[in-house]
A = this chain, B = another copy of it.
Amino acid sequence: MMTVSSLFKDTEKFKNIIEIFAVKGYHPATMDEIARATGVAKGTLYYHYKNKEDLYYSVIEYGVHILERSVRQALQNQTDPALKLKELIREVLNFFDLYSNIAFIFLRELYGNNIRRDVLSGLVQRIIQIIGEILAEGKEQGIFTVKDVDTCATAVFGAVSATAIRSINKHGRVRSVQVQSHIENLVFNGLLAE
């Protein structure tokens, strides 16, 4: 269950805010600009959020919520860990394609020190945890050979994210299908030929 401030009921407003934070980054994005983009007065922003940081946090939280929900949904119908992982990779790439702006924000927070490092990167970690759960399950069933589940989950997320961003930078969007096939190849079979 997730309560979203009334200001975000309007998805359009939400997307506009995301875009500003994503394109310019946290600090260069100004509250004036955000107010203009959302069509409300600056004071209204402060009526709903304690401060800029709080607004930023809410945006990220909402983004994580969306991604997490769609991933969990996609996993529901799968029982095989390998298929689960494929689904997850597909969903993440899909999300990054749909909300490419948020992808940048996520990664910047994961590696960044913008604000409230702990909390924000913690949010993003939730996605990595889901990967970890799948890996653990697969390891138990003897399908995956994984030494350290957490490290491996992180590596998989790092690989997916980096390639997604690369695709966006190169083609303007995430070419999910191609990227997915390349990633799966690497992740499942590794580099070594037979």
Taking a contact as CB atoms closer than 8 A, the residue among B113, B143, B150, B167 that contacts A104 in the complex is B113
Inter-chain contacts of A161 with B (CB < 8 A)? 111, 158, 162
- Please encode chain A, from 179 to 192, with 1 for each CB lying within 8 Å of some chain B CB and 0 for all others: 10111011111111
A85-B143 Cα distance, complex, nearest whole Å: 26
Chain A, interface residues (CB within 8 Å), range: 35 or more
Binding site for B on A (CB under 8 A): 22-28, 82, 85, 104, 107-108, 110-114, 121, 135, 138, 142-148, 150-152, 154-163, 165-167, 169, 178-179, 181-183, 185-194
Contacts A160-B158, A179-B151 given; does A191 touch B192 at CB 8 Å: no
Inter-chain contacts of A22 with B (CB < 8 A)? 113
B193 near A142 with CB under 8 A, answer yes
Known A111-B161, A147-B185; further 12 A-B contacts with Cβ < 8 A:
A25-B113, A26-B27, A27-B27, A142-B193, A143-B193, A146-B191, A151-B163, A157-B162, A158-B158, A186-B187, A186-B190, A189-B192
